[in-house]
Amino acid sequence: MSFKDSARKQWSERRELCGPALVPEWPDDDGQPAAIYAYPLTAAQRAQMRVLFSESRLGDDTRDAELLILMARDVDGQPIWKKAERSDIARHYDPQIVDRLIGELNDLIGESADSAGGDGEADAPGES
């Protein structure tokens, strides 16, 4: 097997749903904590994260919401939120919980702020 084949195989094996990150503050109808999953980021998603962390987006109040939308998946691997919901998330969800969840999802998928395009500061990703 060539190293190119090995690289493709390694990525396909790593590209599995990770999680869950549990959010007790967001219980379901049965009182169970929300269970949020994530996939390792693709090259395109990493590029989106770099844009979100660019200088032009520093004061953007929907940045954390967009990160959550980009990363969060349900147990079946489907996106939980749509881009159209970013303002609702930014204005009506507790920013500390969103920030914590983004950090937990990053940990689950093995990302760091530096590798995904953040500035490496303690508040990135998911700066509130």
Give the orientation angle of helix 43-52 with respect to helix 63-71, to 10 degrees. 170
- On whether residue 8 sits in a domain, the answer given is no
- On whether residue 74 sits in a domain, the answer given is yes
- On whether residue 14 sits in a domain, the answer given is no
3-state secondary structure of 110: coil
- On whether residue 88 sits in a domain, the answer given is yes
Q: How many alpha carbons lie under 13 Å from residue 93 in its C-beta half-sphere? A: 25
Tokens of 55: 């200088």
When divided into structural domains, the chain yields a total of: 1
- On whether residue 7 sits in a domain, the answer given is no
pLDDT of residue 64: 92
Domain limits for position 97: 20-26+33-116
pTM comes to 0.79
CATH number at 89 reads 3.30.2220.20
- On whether residue 3 sits in a domain, the answer given is no
Q: Which residue has the higher pLDDT, 12 or 121?
A: 12
Give the separation between CA 100 and CA 13, rounded to whole angstroms: 27
Reference 48, options 125, 107, 123, 110; nearest CA is 125
* pLDDT tens-place string over residues 17-62: 999 999 999 999 999 999 999 999 999 999 998 888 887 766 688 8
pLDDT above 70 (res 66): yes
- On whether residue 2 sits in a domain, the answer given is no
Mean pLDDT, range 73-88, rounded to an integer: 97
- On whether residue 126 sits in a domain, the answer given is no
